[in-house]
Structure 1
Amino acid sequence: MRMHVDTWDPGYGTSLSGDDRSPSKTEVETDVEMSDWRPVTPGTVAEARLIRLVDGVRRIDARVWLDSGEPGPPSLGVAASYAAGVVTCDLAAGSATLDTPLVERALFTAERLAAVPVRGATYISVPIGSDDPAKLDAGIQAKLRELEIRVAQQAGADHDLLIVDGPLQGRSSLPRVLGYIKTHRAQYLPPAHTSVVNVLESGQRTPIFRLGSPFPRLSWYVQLPGGDGAPWAGVVRVECPAELSVAEAVALADLSAVTLPRLASSPYKDPRAPQNLLPIGGLERRLRALLGDARLLHRSLRLAVA
């Protein structure tokens, strides 16, 4: 019996989910690139030079209750702030720049309300049609995803790679885009193919496999350096649009395997190392600062609706 200590700070959960990591019902095609699965070491592939990384952060500033005056309990809503930005890394020059980030605030409720101005900001109304907490949360995530797409489009297309945090759903039309998934919540591969992930070394990847509905895409796993400890430590899943040819997908997969290790974080710099890439960690810290003081916003909301 062996025990492993997960490299992630326990406040962020685990990189390899436990109880909820059940076999996925998504249709999987494993012989896209090769039928004889084995670790893939890219050949003489030059790493990407200009990389753009897109991420967003969100925060619930307050929960609100709406009383219509009609019989029945009040309905739940949330006031949330969310922000998205792009960090551009030039690996040859060793530089990183933050493109203009966007910040929005909104009231997510069952019905449309008037906008609520507070000190230095305004909460727009986003009607969800329900006060179910799960649907309110999904509404926040949808608006954040829209904001991430906007900042990515504004950043331009003069890059070698565009990396978005999370699955590609709704963002596959962006140029040379890869989805970057650092937490494994579903088991996509059958056991025989999963064993290949277990033996990956830094800079290696699995062969490409195809994921079907609800949204098709091509995917592969990459091993980052410094992932000692728990099973699949340092393993990330990467995906690209399903519309690409196999040759185009292989080129992107090889490019990701030689480039992503350069961006991997270290435990003393990031509690989710090495999967939370260094530029992403810096971007998240900057975006959280732009969200403003949560206590001040909470107090301003109480005064505004009093």
Structure 2
Amino acid sequence: MKFSVDAWDPGYGTSFQETAETLEASSARVSLDVEHAAASWRPVEPTDVATPSAVLFVDGVRRIDARLWIGDESGGDASMGVCGSYAAGVVCCCEEGAHVSHLEVRRGLFTTAVKAEDLDTQHGYWSLALTTSEPGTPPSQTLSLALQRRLADLEVIVAANARAARRRDDDLLVIDGPLRGRTKLERTVSLIKSHQASYLPHEVGDIIGRLRAGERTPVFLLGTTWERYTWYLRLPCEIESSWSGIVRIECSPDLAPDQAASLANQTQGTLPPYASEPHKDTRAPQNLYPIGGLETQLRHRLGDPRLLWRSLRIAARRPSTGKGVEEA
């Protein structure tokens, strides 16, 4: 029996949905004629490009500390609430070495209950983030999305602060995750580690299997509920299947096609050296070393979940003191 084993830790799912042959075809709008005409598509080899003065890797983590039911003194129906901790940071890789440039941790109480208040406990403070309910969307999903939006906003904040501290205009910002909502950041790409759908049409879809380490597809324009330029890149790895070591990279649709292609060339020369190895990372090679290290640091900074949960339980037994409302 011939088979291969996905290098990713099963706890994270897989780097692709099932196998290369069973990835669902996407209904997204795709324009192939950006960098090359579709008829001339072939793997793009690395080229000599200018090296950025620094590569800034941005990532964030979130955690639900507790789920709450928030009532009022009249004894009416209770509303759902979520106490969440989230953190974002930047690892700067430059001539001085790799170091955490900026890191922020925040906590929020996400709920649609208009009479809810901030939660101040012995071991944590959760600021009220009043969230608007969405018809047809389950409350748990609404609150989870509100938490995710706050995390995305925090990632933009730490990225801007890291760039302001450097005062250079020749760096490269790499965001772990989709670029949506952050397309206005300059010199920025996002890294998609896992794949749930095949975006390339059948006539060029086999190019993924022909990529060698360090090679990429031509740039194409992808449109779903929003547009972005994107391309696939194979990171250094043992190639056991068509999708081994494949990441998808996105950049702003506001760029000219030649600017997007130039950015794609820069990622070929910049990102492969940061690819992780299976004996050091269970999501190798897609989980780049700076991002993996940053994730560990961020999760540590979220605090002990058991301590926070007990603190919330104790706080639930005493009267609450409101300290303001912040719209999510």
Report the TM-score, using the length of structure 1 for normalisation: 0.93
Aligned to 2:8: 8
- Distance in 2 (alpha carbons) for counterparts of 1:215 and 1:224: 27
Once the two structures are superposed, what CA deviation does each residue of 1:185-219 show, in whole Å capped at 9, x if it has no partner? 22211122221011111110000000124111110
Counterpart code for 1:218: Y
- Distance in 2 (alpha carbons) for counterparts of 1:168 and 1:300: 36
Counterpart code for 1:150: I
- Distance in 1 (alpha carbons) for counterparts of 2:30 and 2:196: 16
Percent identical among aligned pairs is 44
- Distance in 1 (alpha carbons) for counterparts of 2:261 and 2:102: 32
- Distance in 1 (alpha carbons) for counterparts of 2:48 and 2:129: 50
Deviates more, 1:241-250 or 1:69-78: 69-78
Match of 2:122 among 119, 126, 133: 119
Change (3 A) 1:169 1:225: same
Match of 1:229 among 221, 226, 240: 240
Q: Is the 8 A contact 1:38 1:206 kept in 2?
A: yes
Aligned to 1:173: 184
Once the two structures are superposed, what CA deviation does each residue of 1:2-48 show, in whole Å capped at 9, x if it has no partner? 42211101011000013995322221101111121100002222443
Deviates more, 1:243-252 or 1:271-280: 243-252
Q: Is the 8 A contact 1:6 1:230 kept in 2?
A: no
Distance apart, 1:73 and its partner CA: 5.3
- Distance in 2 (alpha carbons) for counterparts of 1:24 and 1:62: 36
Q: Residue 282 of structure 2: SS of its match in structure 1?
A: coil
Distance apart, 1:49 and its partner CA: 4.0
Q: Is the 8 A contact 2:43 2:211 kept in 1?
A: yes
- Distance in 1 (alpha carbons) for counterparts of 2:285 and 2:124: 36
Aligned to 1:293: 304
Match of 1:110 among 94, 112, 119: 112
Change (3 A) 1:142 1:186: same
Once the two structures are superposed, what CA deviation does each residue of 1:160-181 show, in whole Å capped at 9, x if it has no partner? 2100111111111112000111
Equivalent positions of 1:18-97 (< 5 A) are 18=18, 21-35=23-37, 36-68=40-72, 74-90=78-94, 92-93=95-96, 95-97=97-99
Q: Residue 99 of structure 1: SS of its match in structure 2?
A: strand
- Distance in 2 (alpha carbons) for counterparts of 1:21 and 1:107: 37
- Distance in 1 (alpha carbons) for counterparts of 2:131 and 2:92: 34
Counterpart code for 2:257: V
Aligned to 2:212: 201
Distance apart, 1:303 and its partner CA: 0.8
Once the two structures are superposed, what CA deviation does each residue of 1:52-94 show, in whole Å capped at 9, x if it has no partner? 010000011111112346677533221110000001001x55x
- Distance in 1 (alpha carbons) for counterparts of 2:123 and 2:50: 47
2:194 paired with 1:190: no
Deviates more, 1:129-138 or 1:145-154: 129-138
Deviates more, 1:169-178 or 1:224-233: 224-233
Q: Is the 8 A contact 1:4 1:231 kept in 2?
A: no
Deviates more, 1:11-20 or 1:252-261: 11-20
Q: Is the 8 A contact 2:123 2:311 kept in 1?
A: no
Q: Residue 140 of structure 1: SS of its match in structure 2?
A: helix
Q: Residue 100 of structure 1: SS of its match in structure 2?
A: strand
Q: Is the 8 A contact 2:58 2:159 kept in 1?
A: yes
Please, what is the CA RMSD of the aligned residues? 2.0
Match of 2:222 among 211, 224, 229: 211
Unaligned runs of 5+ in 2: 318-328
Q: Residue 218 of structure 2: SS of its match in structure 1?
A: coil
Report the TM-score, using the length of structure 2 for normalisation: 0.87
Q: Across the two proteins, how many residue pairs are aligned to each other?
A: 304
Counterpart code for 1:66: I
